[in-house]
Amino acid sequence: MRREAVEQLLASPIPTEPVEENLPHKPLHDMPAIVDWTANVANAEARRFYESCGAKVTDMAFELSPRPDAPLMICRHCIRYTLGYCSRYGGKKLPEPLRHLFLRMHDGRRFRLEFNCTACEMSVYACE
């Protein structure tokens, strides 16, 4: 009885659905016309994807073409806000000596901070 069941299963084909190709699709959102290093285009496949979406790739990823003026990090956490000097949310006015803020690590490295208060972002840059 078991053999007959196995033979019947092997004799009748199992219905399957057609397999779709796993190709990248165009994004649902608008692609910028020009894509720079911030899009992290690091290989030819990524370049082809952006170009197929109508974008022009101007710079490759930071690892492939380092830029000395590039921010190391852009974050929503803001030191001015934490210290109570946020101009957007009614903080105190930043004193003149603190107009240019820097982070200093214990090993002596310094990082320049820039603030984009309209977008509520803080950018961190390496100092030489």
* 21 assigned to some structural domain: no
Indicate whether 100 belongs to any domain: yes
Same domain, 81 and 103: yes
pLDDT tens column, 80-93: 888 888 888 887 88
| Same domain? 112 vs 124 | yes
pLDDT at 23: 66
Q: Tell me, yes or no, if the pTM score tops 0.75.
A: no
| 91/103 same-domain check | yes
Same-domain status, 62 and 75: no
Please give the distance of CA 89 from its chain centroid, rounded to a whole number. Answer: 27
| Lowest mean pLDDT across 17-31, 42-56, 84-98 | 17-31
Nearest to 116 by CA among 85, 62, 75: 75
Whether residues 84 and 110 fall in one domain: yes
4: in domain: no
Q: Which residues pair with 123 in a beta bridge?
A: 74, 114
Same-domain status, 87 and 118: yes
The residues near 34 (Cβ < 8 Å, ≥ 6 apart) are 55, 56, 58
Examine the domain organization and report whether 62 and 84 are in the same domain: no
Residue 60's domain spans which residues?
30-67
Looking at the predicted structure, is the pLDDT value of residue 48 above 90? yes
Are residues 128 and 75 both part of a single domain?
yes
Average pLDDT, the chain: 86
**How many structural domains does the chain have?**
2
87 shares a domain with 53: no
Q: Are 83 and 114 in a shared domain? A: yes
Same domain, 82 and 122: yes
Give the C-alpha separation, 41 to 46, whole Å: 6
Residues 46 and 86 both lie in one domain: no
Q: What are the structure tokens assigned to 3, written together?
A: 């053999």
Cα 31 to chain center, whole Å? 14
Instruction: Give residue-wise pLDDT tens across range 106-124.
Output: 999 999 999 998 899 999 9
